Structure 1
Amino acid sequence: MKQYLLAVIEPSVGEPPAPAQMQKIMERVAEFERSAKEAGVWVFSGGLHPPSSATTLRPKGDDVLVTDGPFVEGKEHLGGFTIVQCEDLDAALEWGRRCAEATTLPIEVRPFRW
């Protein structure tokens, strides 16, 4: 079976959902994760702090430069992810669809190379 990344794409601009709406989203995300675990496809998942918490390491010659913040500024950023193990891309896309419904955000589905 192949492993796939379900990347949660969050907007970098605008207001976050109201607390009551966020609570409903988190309940749906918990249900999505429970379903994935029960189906035996869940490998790992996690949410990320905002891009402002990032540190970027950039090789330059024989050195590595360390800078605060993300590699690039953008209108969207990686907000979290789930790794699933599925028979094929169609199955991974179905889990990606379920993740999108739970989070109400775009989900990028990508296979690992191995």
Structure 2
Amino acid sequence: MTQYLLSMPHDSAEEPTMATMEPAELEAALAAAGAFIEELTASGALVFAGGLHPPSTAVTVDNTGEHLALADEPFTRAPEYLGGFWVIEAPDQEVAVHWAAKASKALGARIEVRTFQEVPA
């Protein structure tokens, strides 16, 4: 079965985290995300999921030259960044989009669907 990445963008200017959310807002978001993950798990579609800290917490590692270089910053700067994701298995993109629509409704956010590449036979 094909694997898909369902990703949730966040606004880079805001960099929301669970620690900065109002308690009631956090509780509602966790409940919605939990219910969605339970549904994915029950269907057998969930591979794994996770939430990411904002880009300002990133370390970029570059060991392509003579010396290791570390930068306390994201690899790229953009108006939005990947805040959370689910990796799912689905028979086709239509089913993956169906799951993304459920995530979008549950979390009140846009969701991007991307297919993982497979090595050609």
TM above 0.5 = yes
Structure in which a larger fraction of residues adopt strand: 1
Q: Which moved more, 1:4-13 or 1:63-72?
A: 63-72
For 2:15 and 2:92, locate their aligned partners in 1 and report how far apart those are by CA, in whole Å. Answer: 36
Confirm whether residue 108 of structure 1 aligns to residue 120 of structure 2: no
2:14 aligned counterpart, secondary structure: coil
How many Å separate the matches in 1 of 2:14 and 2:48? 29
Q: How does 1:20-35 map to 2 (within 5 A)?
A: 20-35=24-39
Q: Distance in 2 between matches of 1:13 and 1:105?
A: 16
1:3-18 map, 5 Å: 3-14=3-14, 16=16, 17-18=21-22
The equivalent residue for 2:60 is 56
- Deviation for aligned residue 1:58: 3.0
* Runs of 4+ more than 4 Å apart: none
Q: What residue is the counterpart of 1:65 in the other structure?
A: 69
Aligned equivalents of 1:64 and 1:92: distance in 2? Answer: 39
Q: TM-score, normalised on structure 2?
A: 0.84
How many angstroms does 1:73 deviate by? 2.1
Per-residue deviation, 1:59: 5.0
Question: Does the aligned pair in 1 maintain the 2:15–2:54 contact within 8 Å?
Answer: no
Identify which range, 73-82 or 38-47, moves more after superposition: 73-82
- In 2, are the aligned partners of 1:9 and 1:106 still within 8 Å (CA)? yes
State the distance in 1 between where 2:3 and 2:104 align.
18
**Which consecutive unaligned segments of at least 5 residues does structure 1 have?**
none
Structure 2 unaligned residues grouped into runs of 5+: none
Number of equivalenced pairs: 114
The worse-fitting range, judged by mean Cα deviation, of 27-36 and 48-57 is 48-57
Corresponding residue number in structure 2 for 1:36: 40
Deviation string 1:46-83 (CA, Å, 9 cap, x unpaired) is: 11111111111235544442211111222211111100
CA distance in 2, matches of 1:54, 1:63: 20
Distance (Å, rounded) in 1 between the aligned partners of 2:78 and 2:55:
10
| 1:22 Cα deviation after fit | 2.4
The 3-state SS of whatever aligns with 2:96 is helix
Percent identical: 36
